[in-house]
Amino acid sequence: VAPAFSPRLVGGRVLTPFGTLRALAMAMKRPAADAAGDVAKQQRGSLACKDPLAQPKPGSMVVLDGGLATHIEALGEDIDHSLWSARCLLSNPKVIRQAHADYYGAGAKVAITASYQAHLGGFRELGLGEAEAAAAVKKSVELAREAAPADGIVAGSVGSYGASLHNGAEYTGEFPGMDEAKLVDWHRPRVKSLIEAKCDILACETIPCLLEARALVTLLSEVQFPAWVTFSCKSGIEVCSGESFKECVAVVGDCEYVVGAGVNCTQPNFVSDLVATCRETLPAEKHVVVYPNSGEAWCGETHTWKSGTATADAAFVTMAKDWAARGADCIGGCCRTSPATVRALKDAFCPSP
C-alpha cells in the first residue's frame, strides 16, 4: 500500500505529493544515513506560516532599511531615553514617518518599526498605562505603513529585553533575575500589539543570548506569527553572551514560525563567518538576515558611540557582496548606517533597469 502524502508549505511554495515522492526517490540513490539526514533537515523547522520575505524571483535580494534611530537623530531629535526612538511615537510621530519614507525612498523593501525599545516600564516613566502603551506600539506599525510603497514590507521590531535596561545589556546578555518564562511574559504584550496592528513580520532583533532565543521561540509558537530572529555577536562564532552562535541559530531555525535568522547590530567584519554558519545551520528554505552596524561600538554607560573605525558605505557594500555570496539574502544596516547606505546596497543588488 502506497503511503499517504499531503501538500506542505515550504519557502512560500506548496510541495506536492509528487515533489515529495521525487525527493524520496532521489534520497534512495544515496546512502541511507545521508538520506535520513536530508529528510530530518527538511522536516525540522519547516514553515507553518506564509513567508512575507519570499520574493517572486527566487534568489532575489531583499534590501532592509538602515539605522532608524540614527536617522531620527540626524533629523534633529534627542532620543536619549529608556524608550529610545519609541519616545517619538508620543512626542513627534511625524519624524518617524519621515525616517521610514526616507529609507523606502532610498530603495529599502522592508522598514523596521520604531518599537525596538518600546516597553511598558519606559512608557510608565512618561505617565502612560498599559492601554496607552499598547496604542503607542500599534502606532509604530501605522507610521511605517503610511510611509510604505504598495509592495513595502513592515517588520514589527521586538528588541531584546536587555535594551529596556538602558545599560547596554543587549550586548552582554546579562539579565539579572530573568528566566525563560519571565522573558516570554515580558515580550508578550508588545508582540501582541504589533500583530494586532497588522505588521507583516516580527523582527526579533539584537538578541544576545540563548536564554532569550528560547523564550522567543516559545512565544512565537504561542502566537503563530512569522518572524526573523537576529543576534548581536561579539565574534565570528559567539553571540554577545559568549554562547555559540551556531547553537542559537539552530534553536530558532527549528521553530516553524521563524522564516529567517542571522545577525544585526554587530561589527561588520565578523559577519562573513556568521553568515556562513547561518546558511549551513538553517533549513534551506529559510532566509539569512543580516544588518550589522557601521563598525562603531556603543557605550552603555555614557550613551554615546565610541569613536573608531566606522565603515564607509562603499566598503560596507563590498563586504555585503561577500555576505550575499555566502548565502545572505536579506541585507540592510543597523546603528550608524543611513539612507545613503541603503541606496548603495540597492544600487549594488537591485539596480534600476
pLDDT at residue 233, as a whole number: 98
Q: Which of 154, 76, 165, 147 is nearest to 115 (CA)?
A: 154
Contact assessment for residue 41 and residue 281, using Cβ atoms and an 8 Å cutoff: no
CA distance 147 to 318: 29
pLDDT at residue 79, as a whole number: 59
Question: Own/partner pairs for 92-101, CB < 8 Å, 24+ apart?
Answer: 93/139, 93/143, 96/68, 96/72, 96/140, 96/143, 96/144, 97/143, 97/144, 97/146, 97/147, 98/147, 99/68, 99/71, 99/72, 99/75, 100/65, 100/68, 100/143, 100/144, 100/146, 100/147, 100/148, 101/147
Contact assessment for residue 267 and residue 310, using Cβ atoms and an 8 Å cutoff: no
Q: What three-state secondary structure class fits 244?
A: strand
pLDDT at residue 220, as a whole number: 98
Residues 6+ apart with CB under 8 A from 330: 53, 61, 62, 64, 110, 228, 260, 262, 287, 288, 289, 290
pLDDT at residue 29, as a whole number: 39
pLDDT at residue 151, as a whole number: 96
Tens of pLDDT along the chain (353 residues) come to 333 323 333 333 333 332 333 333 333 334 444 444 444 444 456 899 999 999 988 889 999 999 998 888 888 776 565 555 556 787 789 999 999 999 999 999 999 999 998 877 777 877 788 998 899 999 999 999 999 999 999 999 999 999 999 888 999 999 999 999 999 999 999 999 999 999 999 999 999 999 999 999 999 999 999 999 999 999 999 999 999 999 999 999 999 999 999 999 999 999 999 999 999 999 999 999 999 998 766 565 655 655 555 578 999 999 999 999 999 999 999 998 999 999 999 999 998 87
Q: What three-state secondary structure class fits 3?
A: coil
Residues 6+ apart with CB under 8 A from 60: 329, 350
